Structure 1
Amino acid sequence: MARMTDVTSTKAKAFEDNDLIREAAALTREFSIAKPGIYWPDFLGSALVGYIGLYFAMSGSSLVIQFAGAAIAITFLYRAALFIHEITHMKRDHVPGFRWVWNFLVGIPMLIPSFTYEDTHNQHHSKMRYGTDRDPEYLPLALMKPHMLVFFMAVAALGSIGFLFRFAVLSPLSLISPWIRRETVARFSTLSINPSYRRALPEGEFRRDWIIMETGASLWSIGVLTAVAIGWIPLNAFLIYLTIVAAALVLNQVRTLVAHLWENDGEVLSVTEQYLDSVNVPPPGIMGEFWAPVGLRYHALHHLVPSVPYHALPEVHRRLASKFGDGSNYDKANYPNLRGLLARLVASSVSGGKSS
């Protein structure tokens, strides 16, 4: 049963729940195959509905139609975009072609080609990096002052403008300046929330893929801005497009706020401690499927079984919850809703946040 719980005293013991780890490993072996028959319809359907919504948001004959279109676009393009998380974990031969089709249909038009997440996201799963200053996706937000939470959300709200500038301006400039290239890769090429994280230059086959994706995103960004400048795309339609991309980024940032408890201040944690610092929001609540789709409502479970595809996580959760029961370490990472998690984070920040 999902419920709120305080894991601080459990964390302090620095332990590993070996029974839980072994059971999770066994289920990983059973459920590690991604199913193309689920991935393709889910992704393509989400993208199609999202772009239909975007069309009506940009060209609807009334404000009611435009707002309805925008709501549909945000919901479904957000879902389609979050397949980027699956791309970072799946074996390419499980769903052939998915990575490139995703980039062409969603990653590039939404200004988040998959290289911005690939390679670095797996560092967030590293036992020696998670929760430390070398983790690109971790900040001890629960230990920071409330203004940092406001800043955290403001960054997402400006994200569509920032990504447009990155690909339309910095990408071309980086072709003529090695220094701009190094800085662009290090500081402006990763979906990271850790401001001290610096990315290394890509190498090998990944470097080739990166160049293809970045070229596509740069040409898209320059093309869109040019079309707006010469009047092919109306300014109001362009602003609606940017707003919808920004809204999806804000929604993802809200999800990120509650993906972890954010209570670790740089220590190396065991796998169990990483799990307890992470969050599941399982059924019976249904809203989690909207704000944390594509398996991300099982984010703590994902840290136990990172190679298990999103469509198998509900069954893995059901089995682990049934085996270990209420009050177990597995149960302690399960929470009932977004509202309670946000309240917990804000209360922790207000009462104990440190200056940053």
Structure 2
Amino acid sequence: MNARNAIDMTAPVQAPRDAAPASTWHSQMPDDKAMLRAAAELTRDIAVARPGIYWPDMLASAFVGYAALAGAILVSHPVAAVLLGLLSALALYRALLFIHELTHIHKDALPGFRMGWNLLVGIPMLIPSFMYEGVHTQHHARTRYGTVEDPEYLPLALMKPWSLPVFALTAILLPVALLVRSAVLVPLGAVIPPLRTLVWERASALAINPQYRRRRPEGDFARMVFWQEVGCSVWAIAVLAASFAWGWCPLLIALCVVSLTAFLNQVRTLVAHLWENDGEAMTVTAQYLDSVNVPPPARFSGLWAPVGLRYHALHHLLPSLPYHSLSEAHRRISQHLGEASTYRKASYPGLAPLLMRLARSTMTAR
């Protein structure tokens, strides 16, 4: 959701990796305590989520996304329809990625934001916040990252080359799968308990690890899941009913736009990490170096990795830091620690070099 080229910023840490077996280099890497301390101390004054940034950004992204989608559906000129569809996909992509922020911000930090996001984005896109909440935090757990218990990790760099295009292209089917889930499987699960269990365990989380099984929700979270599921099912059934009554073309266009959005996110996922761990528990520093920052002057990283996700490695150091503070945090930490620091070694020049590095890794994997 990084190829070594002329600018290979990972070179300083390649020797110990290459010298050790692939299954052990992570566990052999001690934590860089100076980096961890600096990251925490230098960002304390920018650690509060600001409603004046979150709300306008999310609302504007959703408005542009839906307006452009309506335009793509209504205009008769094919080129204009394609351009509006592209704009809609990019805007809705940004709006959807606020789900990542919802998993980290304190429940009292932005009053009403979770409900507002679900009503405006999550439920209409059939990706309510419960699909990420309680899942993504496991990816950040100290002893789970990169292991078989991590729902968001696969050792892609150690897999076969064909796994990368398959991984990316399967995302295109996500909108149809979500529609079937909410319109058919969830209602049927209400009267068929085994199906309900299966759907919850296997089709209720934004996870990429096929071994992941989600635990049953409890307490307040279970109540939130119930109402979000009801909202998604009502919306999905209404959309299908409207398509039967007035034609399928609008739905097909919308599915194409959301498929592009899902594909963009899957490509971003491919370069969010180096994916070089084969299941061993890792130190925090090893997790950081297995993750990726694509800071300026990288071009267009704000488009394919919006809402702060261009600083994904930094996010793994400071998971609760709001997205609007990551750029300043990166500037401060980089300036404080210097170019030769461990911190700098997680920065890469762009999307294409990252994809090339990952592809090369699969070609040399055993």
Give the TM-score band, short-chain normalised: over 0.9
Give the distance between the partners of 1:4 and 1:253, measured in 2 at CA.
24
Contact 1:295 1:311 in 2 (8 A): yes
Give the distance between the partners of 2:120 and 2:131, measured in 1 at CA.
16
Match of 1:4 in 2: 9
CA-CA distance at 1:19 after TM superposition = 0.4
TM-score, with structure 1 as normaliser: 0.96
> What 5-or-longer segments of structure 2 have no aligned partner?
1-6, 18-24
Residue 150 to residue 286, structure 1, CA distance change in 2 (3 Å): closer
> What 5-or-longer segments of structure 1 have no aligned partner?
none
1:153 aligns with 2:168: yes
Match of 1:39 in 2: 54
Contact 1:281 1:298 in 2 (8 A): yes
5 Å-filtered alignment, 1:301-320, equals 301-320=314-333
CA-CA distance at 1:327 after TM superposition = 2.4
Which stretch has the larger CA shift, 143-152 or 192-201?
Answer: 143-152
CA-CA distance at 1:154 after TM superposition = 2.5
Which stretch has the larger CA shift, 3-12 or 338-347?
Answer: 3-12
CA-CA distance at 1:92 after TM superposition = 2.2
Contact 1:28 1:305 in 2 (8 A): no
Which stretch has the larger CA shift, 185-194 or 151-160?
Answer: 151-160
Give the distance between the partners of 1:96 and 1:10, measured in 2 at CA.
47
Contact 1:228 1:238 in 2 (8 A): yes
Residue deviations 1:60-91, cap 9 Å, x none? 12112201210110111100100000000011
Match of 1:255 in 2: 268
1:197 aligns with 2:212: yes
Contact 2:171 2:262 in 1 (8 A): yes
Give the distance between the partners of 1:300 and 1:104, measured in 2 at CA.
30
Give the distance between the partners of 1:69 and 1:320, measured in 2 at CA.
39
1:98 aligns with 2:98: no
CA-CA distance at 1:351 after TM superposition = 1.8
- Amino acid in the other structure paired with 1:237: P
TM-score, with structure 2 as normaliser: 0.93
CA-CA distance at 1:8 after TM superposition = 4.3
1:18 aligns with 2:33: yes
Residue 319 to residue 162, structure 1, CA distance change in 2 (3 Å): same
CA-CA distance at 1:10 after TM superposition = 4.6
1:171 aligns with 2:186: yes
Q: Which has the higher contact order (CA 8 A, sep 6+)?
A: 2
Which stretch has the larger CA shift, 10-19 or 313-322?
Answer: 10-19
Residue 175 to residue 276, structure 1, CA distance change in 2 (3 Å): same
- Amino acid in the other structure paired with 2:343: Y
1:264 aligns with 2:277: yes
Give the distance between the partners of 1:266 and 1:93, measured in 2 at CA.
35
- Amino acid in the other structure paired with 1:316: A
Percent of residue pairs bearing the same amino acid type: 53
Give the distance between the partners of 2:35 and 2:10, measured in 1 at CA.
18
CA RMSD of aligned residues (A): 1.2
Which stretch has the larger CA shift, 258-267 or 61-70?
Answer: 61-70
Contact 1:116 1:191 in 2 (8 A): yes
Which stretch has the larger CA shift, 303-312 or 18-27?
Answer: 18-27
1:214 to 229, 239, 242: 229
Give the distance between the partners of 2:134 and 2:43, measured in 1 at CA.
21
Match of 1:332 in 2: 345
Residue deviations 1:23-73, cap 9 Å, x none? 112234322210000001111011111111101111112112201210110
